[in-house]
Structure 1
């Protein structure tokens, strides 16, 4: 739905509370008391059908029609059956936003039989009012004195936004945060989330300058594509930390049918949040611990940790926790060891963790930190202290704070205990150093920082290109569409093998036989051990394993080296087939040479489709001896090599491959390429519902697919992350030079050429584009330019073959950023200096204008320096309105693309134009 009218929700100039009375247990009365107690500065009104003149001193009227003005926000606290009609009346009266606090609407039903909460949604859409809830605790904006909740206490002002789903959990969060001194910019819960949802609020909070971090508590995500698009934008600029409850089927509040090959939905949420750059934590305690480190520590230069304490025990506990979470200890340099040896007793361990001894003084803590600050291998230090009779905890804390100043170290502390260390912990809080009560919590919080930085890297990594994005794959598409026209919902084994072979995946040579006689003939030709598989209808479907991970029945017998063995094996396979699958059509036998592969390393890779989240790429173990379900890991397409390697790294089979492969790096690359290719297959052919390669084997020559199965659906499945829009590619011929140029959306693989393009521009062109001189563009700068979310941004680049024949070069680029409501896009364009007067700028701009107009965007805007005459002439040629902006000292450009249809659109555009 976007951010329409959310400003009226978060910063209302007037509020009406519907259903408030002075009864102690009245919900509306509680909300009204909180509004008054919080010091809300705007105009207040009450609607109550009883004949009150005022409620708690606030004027009261009997009906919405008698309000006399249109409040910006309504808070509805009336019985469930009255709420849909009340929402409709408020919308008709000009109220823009409503908070529906009434609960039980998911269980109460309307006359049509649907839950009343859907009637609220329908009424809101009819009259154009935005609704938070039903069944929400409400909203707090502490800095504006707004406490529109029934919570038992208010929140203190701060820079953290909390968006929850459960009111009872939110109440505990307020208590918890107050005790930790955590303040909020916004605090609210969605309740049933019938209109305003996570993605709408994240879009708003991503642009809010008063919010430095976003905390999410989620039970479900009804619109994953919108959520993913919104949170990827937000997490690029501020930490987003999430708790997702309902991790097991027994605790899911909104269970849905699982895709083939999965037994739980929680790994899907894991994959989605990781791909979005969100740090997922296991509970509210971890949420606030993570908040401590993410907002109070610098970005990590290294992921290793140095530990010091006034005793062995705390250090050992910290190391145990670090190892359990997959962290690593920093290796101290010899210089540091010798320097510490001059400070510590002769019996110290000479390694990390560092035992300072029980009588460590403030001076010793400070000197040890100074030594480590000079060590290039040390970037992060956990400083711990256990209370003792000999030293004062506050003095040691002060020494640590002073020693850290001026260093590049990330230091966080653990002052063990409670009653005697609180003053010291306050000292750390004032100094901005995270502090924890136990070694386990401290190390867990540090590793959350590590995990967050890792998922952030996945947003900006430049992938390694190995596939041809523009190759012709018509054979595979023809096989799939032909099967669907024949009303088949799966491909035959031969067809499935042809599909992946068409995409370059190696397969074992297979001979298909109708009966035993043909199998014997095939063996006579091979004259070497073979594997024989009986193929039938059920065998052609992917993910046929039981929950145990073992196959239902024997389908393949391996290493047959005589005619007698083949005859006996075919008989056994036929008996198994007739016993277990008598109704599954017989398709014959498949004969393959027995494949000599690295023992024990068998992968199952493929595609499955979730009814909510769309296509998913899966990777894990194959084989009858292990539980393939347990090892199965998930990622969201589209994938690149970096994302594919990350998916592979999470599997148990990855460790076996690294330890046992003849060529581990080559085989890791081969699996990663296969995963990227599968991702491309399901994007190119969205009618593929499921695809499994099992097993994918390895020998000294690389990877090879043995068995393949593909399911189909006449309803295409779309990834929740917008893939590369190939249909937007266009070839043009430049009129002056006659050079052929492709204008297409940017790919992450364009990063090297994009960096060269910027580095070759003249200082003047750089100043015109970035409004300042820039001599250097880092890899991260350029990666962000090419790693885009096609739902929110678009970048068209003009590429052509280099004149020396060595690959492609980028000749020009145009970019737009579109707001969450698709009202306005902001553009920027730059053409290579050597391509001036070739008409390339016009071609790029016209391409982008046509794209944004077709997308329904209402306006295109931009800023141009007053002396940038070429761009101003181009804008005038394209029909832009041009006005000088004296406040910013730039020329404002505006082009109407589509006329707004709704009043709120016209109002928003008019307000932002002035």
Structure 2
């Protein structure tokens, strides 16, 4: 992941087109004509072995080696077998970026048998040149008059970036966007994405002040961890909307090997994009509809919707679609109903949706909007209009635009029809009001806005504190490693129960017996009714693939109360086992006492592992196979209680739990705690490949695991989201007060103490930290400070027990933000006023310096107010270089952590320091 040389791609001062000619249909010639017609202001050059003097008036040379200057960007349009050599020569000539438009390289093979596109990748890596493509439509930057594509038309300038993968889809997007007046800051496709990929571009666009929103068309994600890291940063600052094509196996761009227990890859992408705060939509139409509401509407104060129309029919269509999507109508206040009653016929329904009648005038539309603007229950209004003989659609549109000005309402419109309403729609576009062609599309777009806001809220939720997550589980790790050393890739049923029990998950008390005699011996101790289950190797594998007959076979006989009944049951179970699982090794019997007060709604929960996305947490129904596969929902570890509840909420079983459980909130918490615990198990013991608890039931003590199966892998699985780095925890004793303090990475659960820490600081300390006086910190402000990904951002906090013994308090904090290339990190530090003189600031800063140096960051920088003497003294003590910044009127601090390894790193850092 790197933004290395991307500035040369997006803002090149010079471009060479390799392979351009004046021959009709020549790819390079089309690109050259687009560059010239767009008014590109930089230097142009053509390279063509035909030895032309010029191509379309642009100077031409025969070879790359003959170029009189080294262009910032080269555009390669030569035959597939020549591209790798051309890229190598360009890199050796000092060219920093290249766009390879040549297609078919994923299907054309080299002498080694691999597709030619990999030869391009290897040549780029060896020479340091960055490559967009192969098989890309190219790049447009309208604000810089750059159209380096073979597209049939250009794009309007705007503040939306589009990053696609398919050139043909991109061509249709250009057409579509132009018709809707949507402009772009950047427009490009990745093609085969051999070098520059989604994550590189997202990193660049996240920092670009001219980009207000990012649109992604995704066919596949080669590196899920890098993508997740980049897009989580971007989605916190601007809307990211994605279309993921290839939703079914038949349409996947690349075959996705499915993990155990999952039958489609698409839900995995759903889980990943949701966790990253990305709004996923179902197609290009929905993408632009969502863009309308996300960029033209204010944040939603409420999620309910008021609807008004000049007739019943359009309003009913909108309500039906709203209900389908889980939305709600706003309730009108009595004052609003009364005010509307004075304007509308006596027979109107006196409720939402509001029927303004077929002859509704511009004045009526305007007055109705102003009435709703005074209603505290109404925040969002969909205004519908169907063409009428009595009124002019443009006049009504103008009335709506005027009424919308100055109101607190989010207003969006739908003028039904086509030929007579186009001018009205243009009026809305000019006024910045979202407008749609039919009620269904309007409601879908509104609900996309609702979904996006929920995703953003989920990113900022503070989870309740749960657990002894970070307890020592050496015993469990020993069980797993002993199994691997003995050559076993699964745990026995007994070992699997020990693992989950060690992490605090309740299990049914079970006695394991080698044969019938041991079952009888165990029964004789209490002589209470028992259940007996046959245990064999296949039953110890999670998410085992079974035939219909195997799923229906009987593995357990219940409520056995005599020796004779037990002997008959064991004999029957052996017959069943030999018939249905003859190849599975026999491991004995498991005996449990009947009536252990376990019952209720059955859940299936567990862990599985995907080759691309790492460990996954699954949750859903237990029981019939069809129910399990239909209801199984997916989330990415690590989980906290908020994320676990969200995963549970998406299952059908959640609805049953709320409706039929005697203690729904208690049981919901119990399942959520189990999901968080499973997440922690796979982080602590990455050799666990799969873990299945089925069923998970309930008793007085909470959730209870009935059957547990675990399999293993010698290769550890790593989650694509960085988990809490427990190894960075450190204890110290403050020399002055003698208080024992832990310095550790921040957790989302730290929000309450972190907020209190900021609110107890003196105004001067707040000014030193934030460069302004602040009296209030919202929960959302502080939540964002402590909800970090432990990758681009690190926060160490110093916590200690409160002096009155009631909980913990935060005494200090230091944070760094690191760029995508790990070149620079920017720091900020603050210590509680009462801790001044304790050396806590030095300890926090030194820990952060050591951490950043160890991860390879080249330098640490920060800005300090000129009168912040304590911080300047601390920086001088730690060896920072300190300079006064005349323009910003602050002191610039810089500390070299590691020497730059590459010329491009030195060049980038040189730009920072000059």
Report the TM-score range of the alignment, normalised by the length of the smaller protein: over 0.9
When residues 197 and 755 of structure 1 are mapped into structure 2, their CA distance, relative to the original with a 3 A threshold, is same
When residues 507 and 846 of structure 1 are mapped into structure 2, their CA distance, relative to the original with a 3 A threshold, is same
- Mapped to 1, the partners of 2:369 and 2:463 lie a distance apart of 39
For the residue of structure 2 that corresponds to 1:456, the secondary structure is: helix
TM-score, normalized by length of structure 1?
0.98
Match of 2:334 in 1: 334
When residues 79 and 537 of structure 1 are mapped into structure 2, their CA distance, relative to the original with a 3 A threshold, is same
- Contact persistence 1:17–1:45 (CA under 8 A): yes
Match of 2:613 in 1: 613
Match of 1:409 in 2: 409
For the residue of structure 2 that corresponds to 1:501, the secondary structure is: helix
- Contact persistence 2:600–2:698 (CA under 8 A): no
- Contact persistence 1:549–1:624 (CA under 8 A): no
When residues 279 and 386 of structure 1 are mapped into structure 2, their CA distance, relative to the original with a 3 A threshold, is same
- Mapped to 2, the partners of 1:548 and 1:827 lie a distance apart of 60
Please say if 1:505 is aligned against 2:466. Answer: no
Match of 2:195 in 1: 195
Match of 1:821 in 2: 821
Match of 2:271 in 1: 271
Q: What is the correspondence of 1:243-254 to structure 2 with a 5 Å cutoff?
A: 243-254=243-254
When residues 423 and 480 of structure 1 are mapped into structure 2, their CA distance, relative to the original with a 3 A threshold, is same
Q: What is the correspondence of 1:322-721 to structure 2 with a 5 Å cutoff?
A: 322-546=322-546, 551=551, 553-595=553-595, 601-624=601-624, 626-699=626-699, 701-721=701-721
- Contact persistence 1:545–1:552 (CA under 8 A): no
- Contact persistence 1:549–1:627 (CA under 8 A): no
Deviation at 1:561, TM superposition (A): 4.4
- Contact persistence 2:599–2:697 (CA under 8 A): no
Match of 2:129 in 1: 129
For the residue of structure 2 that corresponds to 1:627, the secondary structure is: helix
- Contact persistence 2:300–2:379 (CA under 8 A): yes
Deviations 1:391-438 (A, max 9, x none): 111111111112222221111111111111111111111111111111
Q: How many residues align?
A: 914
Match of 2:308 in 1: 308
Match of 2:61 in 1: 61
Q: Runs of 5+ in structure 1 lacking a partner? A: none
- Mapped to 2, the partners of 1:298 and 1:612 lie a distance apart of 37
TM-score, normalized by length of structure 2?
0.98
- Contact persistence 1:512–1:588 (CA under 8 A): yes
Q: What is the correspondence of 1:870-881 to structure 2 with a 5 Å cutoff?
A: 870-881=870-881
Match of 1:740 in 2: 740
Deviation at 1:624, TM superposition (A): 2.6
For the residue of structure 2 that corresponds to 1:551, the secondary structure is: helix
Match of 1:229 in 2: 229
Please say if 1:909 is aligned against 2:914. Answer: no
- Mapped to 2, the partners of 1:734 and 1:62 lie a distance apart of 72
362-371 or 485-494, which deviates more: 362-371
- Mapped to 2, the partners of 1:547 and 1:181 lie a distance apart of 56
Deviation at 1:338, TM superposition (A): 2.4
- Mapped to 2, the partners of 1:168 and 1:118 lie a distance apart of 23
* Cα-Cα RMSD: 1.4
- Contact persistence 1:305–1:382 (CA under 8 A): yes
For the residue of structure 2 that corresponds to 1:263, the secondary structure is: coil
- Mapped to 2, the partners of 1:380 and 1:468 lie a distance apart of 44
- Mapped to 1, the partners of 2:698 and 2:600 lie a distance apart of 10
Q: Runs of 5+ in structure 2 lacking a partner? A: none
- Mapped to 1, the partners of 2:347 and 2:567 lie a distance apart of 74
- Mapped to 2, the partners of 1:181 and 1:515 lie a distance apart of 77
For the residue of structure 2 that corresponds to 1:17, the secondary structure is: strand
Deviation at 1:472, TM superposition (A): 1.7
Deviations 1:29-63 (A, max 9, x none): 01000000111000000000002000000000001
Please say if 1:289 is aligned against 2:298. Answer: no
For the residue of structure 2 that corresponds to 1:732, the secondary structure is: strand
Match of 1:81 in 2: 81
- Mapped to 1, the partners of 2:548 and 2:72 lie a distance apart of 57
- Mapped to 1, the partners of 2:591 and 2:688 lie a distance apart of 26
- Mapped to 1, the partners of 2:526 and 2:406 lie a distance apart of 74
- Mapped to 2, the partners of 1:381 and 1:547 lie a distance apart of 53
For the residue of structure 1 that corresponds to 2:883, the secondary structure is: strand
- Mapped to 2, the partners of 1:576 and 1:37 lie a distance apart of 78
Deviation at 1:529, TM superposition (A): 3.9
- Contact persistence 2:138–2:188 (CA under 8 A): yes
Deviation at 1:519, TM superposition (A): 2.5
- Contact persistence 1:48–1:62 (CA under 8 A): yes
737-746 or 769-778, which deviates more: 737-746
- Mapped to 2, the partners of 1:546 and 1:164 lie a distance apart of 40
536-545 or 184-193, which deviates more: 536-545
- Mapped to 1, the partners of 2:675 and 2:811 lie a distance apart of 32
For the residue of structure 1 that corresponds to 2:349, the secondary structure is: coil
- Contact persistence 2:381–2:412 (CA under 8 A): yes
- Contact persistence 2:598–2:704 (CA under 8 A): no
When residues 525 and 416 of structure 1 are mapped into structure 2, their CA distance, relative to the original with a 3 A threshold, is farther
Deviation at 1:383, TM superposition (A): 0.9
Deviations 1:190-212 (A, max 9, x none): 00000000000000000001100
